């Protein structure tokens, strides 16, 4: 198990690992079309995260980047109906609320912030001019990941 994630089960780790592909499918497919540009950017961002977040999160995001596209496609195609898919993905992502408290406060905070930033990047991936101003109303509904309880930045005493 990756350092910092020893307190969670393998199933909980898998839920965290699959969160980015689920977010990509939710945000990218919010309009009913998870297009090639959104998939490309989602995978690219996931790969960037694998070396830019700082230990131990780099190791975590390396696991996320492995087979990212396959996972994102699988969760996107899990339900054909848009509303069913969004409901399913929302419920799956809501399970993270039980996992985050088991992590070190700073790791949980950084993961949560990474998930929010990732959602925003995927939403901006298609449309607009130079990917700016491209978030449509369907994506905007989900971009703040309302199914996940916000995690406040811990104080130094929270780390102890």
pLDDT, tens digit, 9 for 90 and up, residues 131-149: 455 677 888 889 999 999 9
What is the percent of the chain where pLDDT is above 90?
43
**What integer pLDDT is reported at residue 87 of this predicted model?**
92
- pLDDT score, position 10: 93
- Tokens for 112? 């949560």
- How many folded domains does the chain comprise? 1
Domain annotation covers residue 12:
no
Is residue 86 a part of any domain in this protein?
yes
The mean per-residue pLDDT over the stretch 55-82 comes to: 82
The domain of 125 spans 19-159
pTM here?
Answer: 0.87
What are the DSSP calls for 72-129, one per residue? Answer: HHHHHHT-SSHHHHHHHHHHHHHTHHHHGGGS-HHHHHHHHHHHHHHHHHHHTSSSTB
**Quick check: is 10 in a domain?**
no
Task: Indicate if the pLDDT at residue 54 is higher than 70.
Answer: no
Per-residue confidence (pLDDT) for residue 53, from 0 to 100:
58
pLDDT at 47: 84
Q: Does residue 3 lie in a domain region?
A: no
Look over the chain and give the mean of its residue pLDDT values, rounded to a whole number.
85
Residue 126 maps to a domain: yes
Evaluate if residue 79 carries a pLDDT over 80. Answer: no
Q: Which tens digit of pLDDT belongs to each residue from 88-140?
A: 999 999 999 999 999 999 999 999 999 999 999 888 876 544 445 567 788 88
- Spatial distance between the Cα atoms of 37 and 43, rounded to a whole number of angstroms: 10
- Between CA 63 and CA 48 the distance in angstroms is 12
**2 is a domain residue:** no
pLDDT score of 131? 47
Would you state the pLDDT for residue 22? 93
């Amino acid at each position: 198990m990756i350092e910092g994630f020893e307190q969670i089960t393998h199933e909980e780790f898998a839920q965290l690992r699959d969160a980015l592909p689920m977010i990509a499918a939710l945000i990218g497919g919010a309009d009913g079309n998870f297009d090639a540009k959104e998939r490309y950017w989602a995978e690219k961002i996931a790969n960037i995260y694998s070396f830019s977040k700082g230990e131990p999160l780099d190791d975590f995001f390396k696991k996320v980047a492995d087979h990212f596209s396959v996972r994102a496609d699988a969760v996107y195609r899990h339900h054909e109906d848009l509303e069913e898919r969004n409901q399913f993905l929302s419920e799956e992502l809501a399970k993270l609320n039980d996992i985050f408290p088991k992590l070190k406060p700073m790791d949980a905070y950084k993961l949560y912030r990474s998930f929010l930033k990732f959602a925003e990047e995927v939403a901006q991936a298609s449309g607009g001019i130079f990917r700016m101003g491209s978030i449509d109303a369907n994506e905007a509904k989900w971009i703040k990941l309302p199914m996940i309880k916000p995690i406040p930045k811990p104080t130094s005493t929270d780390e102890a």
